Structure 1
Amino acid sequence: INSSWIFMDIFRSQALFDLNGAISRIEMQIEQVFQSENIGQKVKKNFPDFLIETWQSNNRQLLSALQSQSASSYMIQFFVLLAVTLGIASVLAIAAVQKSREIGILKAMGTRTGSASRIFLIQGAVLGLSGSIMGSLVGVGLIKMFQIASQSGGALSFAIRVEFRTAITLIIISTIASIGAALFPARKAASLVPIEVIRNG
């Protein structure tokens, strides 16, 4: 496979290591990977003289670290989403102030209040959708680069799988958050009085 792992048939491996027909280790691959402890106990009952090891028992510290990392990752994602939402809200709020005269003129010409508000909602949705799609593409590219770099190193690494459903869910959440961030500028635009805006410039 690489510089660290090699596969061969059992007879050649026994001859290579002078095992005389013996087998030093049997590894099993199961479908329910997180049930390895329960399956290991069942195997132990049938073969009490065998030493049964599972990937969970051999990697308890790693699993504990991964659980802590997962919790930290969710917290980081939440604060990143919050920061992005506040950033979009501030940008659209500044745009509402800068475009208040134009909005006032449009409302004086007959533009409905809902149409003026809808401009900022659409702008927020476009920013959120385009930004989340670009971010997802960049993330997938970084994952592919990591996989290529880890495989070239010669060591076996954990498989990283990008789930399409998860990516779509994150894109939807980001878009909804961006639309929510646009609510304040939209309400600001809806509350503008055309005469006062044009008079005050």
Structure 2
Amino acid sequence: MRYPLFIALRYLKGGRGSPFLSVITLISITGVTLGVAALIITLSVMNGFHEDLRDKIVGTNAHLVILKEGAEGLANYKELGRRVERMNHVLATAPFIFGQAMIRSSTSSLGVVIRGIDIDKEAKVTALAENIIKGRLKDFGPNSLILGKELAMSLGADVGEWVRVISPRGIAMPVGMKPRFKSFKVTGIFATGMYEYDSTLAYVTLDSAQGLFGMGEVVTGLQVKIDNIHQAGKMDKGIQKELGYPYWVRNWMELNSNLFAALRMEKITMTVILVLIILVATFNIASALIMKVIRKTKEIGILKAMGAQRKSIMSIFILEGLIIGLMGTLLGTFIGSLISFLQDKYHFVKLPGGGEIYYISILPISMKGSDILLIILATIGISLLATLYPAWRGARLDPVEAIRYE
């Protein structure tokens, strides 16, 4: 063992001949450990929220949406759907209609977003069937309607009851505009976990939506499911190039860009705060090393008088700081990863309200190896920087003055 490493290890211990680490060393290691563990847990939770939110959004919407320039919609959607399905990496397509209307129950009236769907095709591109919490999807027909959970509660409507949907697109009559309306039987209630969807969305058949909004054989657009959700940003450009004008394609990330931008900003903010905690912990390392230089001034002078070079003296304190940083980093990584793993497997931390207050009932966790590796490298790098000034200060001591130091 080279003597700088031997001396660095000896300086970590409490006193002469003590086999235990000193209190200052333990405090420094603990600070780094807590900072690293907190950062790993926080990033894992943020990743978990991001992925859970993504799954809920993609479960309600397709990976890609094809629309047509202008307001006339798609008249050739069947042919267009077959054409898109022949493209590489495309699994399925489904037409849809979006429109705003008013829905009236026996107790309440509310604004609602009507979504017209072909139920057989819809099941291939979204998770509607999995989101049904009451009623049966096979009962969905021409006079049927599926309500979001929050919307059904606001209307006081349940499965088997009838509601009336009134369209803003009326029928021109000699005496004025006559509103279009139709009665529907509630055959199902769905819950996505996203309040925005559960409180405003209602599904009807494609034919019913076309009749309500006077669209004839036209639909609003075409949903597309691909084989890899992470390639949506690349696939939309490929399909756009293949179809050309007047079609335009948007992926699920673009359609929810504001939401995911807010999540990214929150993740960055939390990371910065916790990195500051790690910085404070590494300042403890610097402080401990400066105190060690002061306490060991006479020993440093003896080493220099015996011929030790400046770089060897610097190596002693750099190695000591790196060992503290490395021990704290490894311990923090183990603790943070263990807590994240246990939460992901056993869900011992639950959110209040059982999913009623928040959109989920448990704290989601998703550990990413790239995040953990970056935390380890960054913490060790910061620890190294924290050692430079104390090491330089120790190396520049004059041996004569150091030996005389009391």
The answer to whether the superposition gives a TM-score over 0.5 is yes
Residue 395 of structure 2 corresponds to 190
The list of structure 1 runs, each at least 4 consecutive aligned residues, that deviate by more than 4 angstroms after superposition, is: 17-20, 26-30, 54-62, 150-159
**Counterpart-to-counterpart distance in 2, 1:90 and 1:159:** 38
The Cα of 1:102 is off from its aligned counterpart by: 1.2
Relative to structure 2, which stretch is displaced further, 100-109 or 73-82?
A: 73-82
Counterpart amino acid of residue 83 in structure 1: V
Matched, 1:70 2:70: no
User: Out of 324, 330, 347, which is 1:149 matched to?
Assistant: 347
Counterpart amino acid of residue 188 in structure 1: R
Identify if the C-alpha distance between structure 1 residues 169 and 68 changes in structure 2 by more than 3 Å, giving closer, same or farther.
Answer: closer
Q: Choose 1 or 2 for highest CA Rg.
A: 2
Identify if the C-alpha distance between structure 1 residues 156 and 33 changes in structure 2 by more than 3 Å, giving closer, same or farther.
Answer: farther
The answer to which structure, 1 or 2, has the higher relative contact order (CA under 8 A, 6+ apart) is 1
SS at match of 2:367: coil
Counterpart amino acid of residue 196 in structure 1: E
The Cα of 1:192 is off from its aligned counterpart by: 0.9
Give the structure with the larger helix fraction. Answer: 1
**Counterpart-to-counterpart distance in 1, 2:349 and 2:259:** 21
Identity score, percent:
26
**Counterpart-to-counterpart distance in 2, 1:97 and 1:179:** 20
Identify if the C-alpha distance between structure 1 residues 58 and 176 changes in structure 2 by more than 3 Å, giving closer, same or farther.
Answer: closer
**Counterpart-to-counterpart distance in 2, 1:167 and 1:103:** 38
Residue 165 of structure 1 corresponds to 370
**Counterpart-to-counterpart distance in 1, 2:372 and 2:327:** 13
**Counterpart-to-counterpart distance in 1, 2:363 and 2:299:** 55
**Counterpart-to-counterpart distance in 2, 1:150 and 1:28:** 35
Q: How well do the aligned residues superpose, as a CA RMSD in angstroms?
A: 4.1
Counterpart amino acid of residue 316 in structure 2: I
Matched, 1:131 2:328: yes
**Counterpart-to-counterpart distance in 2, 1:92 and 1:183:** 10
The Cα of 1:128 is off from its aligned counterpart by: 1.3
Relative to structure 2, which stretch is displaced further, 75-84 or 27-36?
A: 27-36
Segments of 5+ residues of structure 1 without an aligned counterpart are 1-5, 8-12, 47-53
**Counterpart-to-counterpart distance in 1, 2:389 and 2:349:** 48
**Counterpart-to-counterpart distance in 2, 1:151 and 1:187:** 47
Identify if the C-alpha distance between structure 1 residues 192 and 151 changes in structure 2 by more than 3 Å, giving closer, same or farther.
Answer: closer
Residue 10 of structure 1 corresponds to none
Counterpart amino acid of residue 146 in structure 1: Q
Contact 2:301 2:398 (8 Å CA) reproduced: yes
Relative to structure 2, which stretch is displaced further, 74-83 or 133-142?
A: 74-83
Residue 3 of structure 1 corresponds to none
User: Out of 104, 108, 115, which is 2:301 matched to?
Assistant: 104
Segments of 5+ residues of structure 2 without an aligned counterpart are 1-128, 131-135, 145-203, 206-222, 244-250
**Cα displacement string for residues 130-177 of structure 1 (whole angstroms, at most 9, x for unaligned residues):** 111111111112212332217987968686332223322321221121
**Counterpart-to-counterpart distance in 1, 2:268 and 2:308:** 48
Identify if the C-alpha distance between structure 1 residues 149 and 90 changes in structure 2 by more than 3 Å, giving closer, same or farther.
Answer: same
Counterpart amino acid of residue 283 in structure 2: L
**Counterpart-to-counterpart distance in 2, 1:58 and 1:143:** 31
Question: For this pair of structures, how many residues does the alignment match?
Answer: 184
Contact 2:347 2:363 (8 Å CA) reproduced: no
Counterpart amino acid of residue 161 in structure 1: S
**Counterpart-to-counterpart distance in 2, 1:191 and 1:151:** 52
